[in-house]
Amino acid sequence: MADSVGTAPRSGFVTFAGVLAIFIGFFNAIGGIAAIGKDDTIQGAIQSRNAEVLFGIDYNAWGWFWLILGVVQIIVGGLILSRSSVGLILGIVWATLSATLTIFVIFVYPFWALAVIGINVLIIWGLLNNAEEFS
């Protein structure tokens, strides 16, 4: 029989938030790779709207930024799953940063951006609502 002395109950929502953080990290990294590779879909979508969505930022620099953000989010997702207190803080910071920066591409990919923002809000809510699980 397992000894349950000293073990705190774990919520499934923190695990869900960690998995979502990894999931969004992969999406951000894939978007970054597409921008680095000068994907025709990204450039065509921006040019078809006749708007300078990225405010003059180079696609390559924008892609590297999102690739790095995605990799960091994947690492933060792992820290959240391990219930590290650093994971709690970084999870909230990175989810907030990701949601805020996603607003820049909302006119290019509105449904994608709204989905990413919604998932980031779920991550923030799950972490703040269950902060007592982190050591």
Question: What's the domain range around 24?
Answer: 20-133
Residue 36 placed within a domain: yes
How far is CA 135 from its chain centroid? 23
Residue 9 placed within a domain: no
Average pLDDT value for residue range 128-133: 88
Into how many domains does the chain fold? Answer: 1
d(CA 125, CA 46): 32
Q: State the chain's mean pLDDT as an integer.
A: 80
Geometric angle at alpha carbon 80, from 26 and 9, rounded to 5°: 140
pLDDT at 131: 87
Residue 6: left (phi > 0), alpha (psi -120 to 50), or beta?
left
User: pLDDT tens digits, residue range 113-124?
Assistant: 899 899 889 889
Higher pLDDT: 109 or 30? It is 30
User: pLDDT tens digits, residue range 63-96?
Assistant: 888 899 889 989 999 999 999 899 999 999 988 9
pLDDT at 56: 61
Q: Any residues with CB less than 8 A from the CB of 118 and at least 6 apart, and which? A: none
pLDDT at 42: 53
Question: What is the widest separation between alpha-carbon atoms in the chain?
Answer: 66
Residue 64 placed within a domain: yes
Residue 6 placed within a domain: no
pLDDT at 48: 47
Instruction: Specify the length of the chain in residues.
Output: 135
Higher pLDDT: 86 or 44? It is 86
Residue 4 placed within a domain: no
Residue with tokens 């790095």: 68
Confidence (pTM): 0.73
Residue 3 placed within a domain: no
